[in-house]
Amino acid sequence: MTSWNGAIVGCGFFAHNHLHGWGELKERCAIRAVCDIDGGKAQAAADAFGIPNVYTNIEELLARETLDFVDIVTTAPSHRALVEACARRGVATVVQKPLAPDWADASALVATMDRAGRPLMVHENFRFQAPLSRAADVLRSGVIGEAVWGQFSFRTGYDIYAGQPYLAEVERFVLLDLAIHVLDIARVFMGEAETVACRSQSVRPGIKGEDMATVMLGHRGGATSIVDVTYASRQTPDPFPQTLLHVDGRQGSIRLDREFHLTVTTPEGTTREVVAPHASAWMSPQWVLIQDSVVATQRHWLDCLDGGAEPATSGRDNLKTFALVEASYRSAAAGGSLVTPEVF
């Protein structure tokens, strides 16, 4: 098995999860360098994780290091320039969601990496969450028949702004930051969507963008699904960061309820199981679901590097999810009218 050499760009709030995650996979890869325009953050990450080389500029990083991949954990406005820098050097790249702030940047950066002929994976980790991945396997097994209706729901009042204060300042907020995960899940379960209708709301005082959105998707083949997301649902207990789902098939249904309770009804009867994430010592109870999925996403990346396969959440694939976000914004701007996502 090859051991791959990587570097992390962006050492802020979420990067420690990536650093721990790569550490769990240390038999298969090593992080040789970290980079952040804030040299203090880069140095702190290097010190905490024993990483030898520290940079404040990606060009310098790429010029000096011999890398098999770069893992970009910065916020969206920087993604295009950073991915394109990697493409110019022919370095395979993982980039956090959302791929970019808008469609123009997202499609341009994917096209640039396509021209470079190197792999690009979006760190879209929700489909790698243990309970969602298990539920998708059940659907693929065929026991509930063809999916005809779905609801994918992420509703929380968790103080997301404490760790990610920039979210209060962005004009495109919950669709781009959160619905993008859940729309990706809707695609996994229901297939591609050809129509989108969305209404969005801004509920919490003092934020710039929308923090509540409800999207109705019309899928190829006739199935319908609802994606509803918000950071403004006050509830106790709060399910953050769980995505709950209900999928009706022609012969049965799949439900994922709170605390990872998966219920499957088929013509043969109903089965119930609890599909909890795998907890490692570095994970926190609040974030274990997400943190475990970071490791699973990274494992998938290494599997793809080993096998020369296209990642399930490649740049090209993620543009299909991104197109649903863009269509949702267009629909919401028109008061919820039916729109068609960008064509591929």
Residue 91 touches which member of ligand 89V, ligand NAD, none, C-beta under 5-8 Å by kind = none
Residue in 61, 62, 99, 178 binding ligand 89V, rule: CB under 6 A = 178
272-274-275-278 Cα dihedral, nearest 10 degrees:
-160
Provide the H-helix boundaries in the chain: 15-24, 39-49, 58-64, 79-88, 103-116, 130-141, 160-163, 174, 180-190, 288-307, 315-333
Q: How far is the CB of 57 from ligand NAD (least distance, A)?
A: 7
Strand partners, 229: 154, 213
Single out the segment in contact with ligand NAD by CB under 6 A; choices: 67-75, 200-208, 249-257, 333-341. 67-75
| Residue 3 in tokens | 């051991």
Residue 178 touches which member of ligand NAD, ligand 89V, none, C-beta under 5-8 Å by kind = ligand 89V
Single out the segment in contact with ligand 89V by CB under 6 A; choices: 23-31, 132-140, 177-185, 334-342. 177-185
Pairs from 161-164 (Cβ < 8 Å, separation ≥ 24): 161/207, 163/13, 164/13
Q: For the chain, how many residues are written?
A: 344
Residue 13 touches which member of ligand NAD, ligand 89V, none, C-beta under 5-8 Å by kind = ligand NAD
Can residue 183 be called a binding residue for ligand NAD (CB under 6 A)? no
| Residue 320 in tokens | 């299909």
Residue 33 touches which member of ligand 89V, ligand NAD, none, C-beta under 5-8 Å by kind = none
User: Distance between CA 257 and CA 252 in Å, rounded?
Assistant: 16
Residue 218 touches which member of ligand 89V, ligand NAD, none, C-beta under 5-8 Å by kind = none
Report the site for ligand NAD in 273-332 (rule: CB under 6 A): 290
Single out the segment in contact with ligand 89V by CB under 6 A; choices: 99-107, 142-150, 176-184, 245-253. 176-184
For 142-160, the DSSP string reads: TTT-SEEEEEEEEE----H
Can residue 181 be called a binding residue for ligand 89V (CB under 6 A)? yes
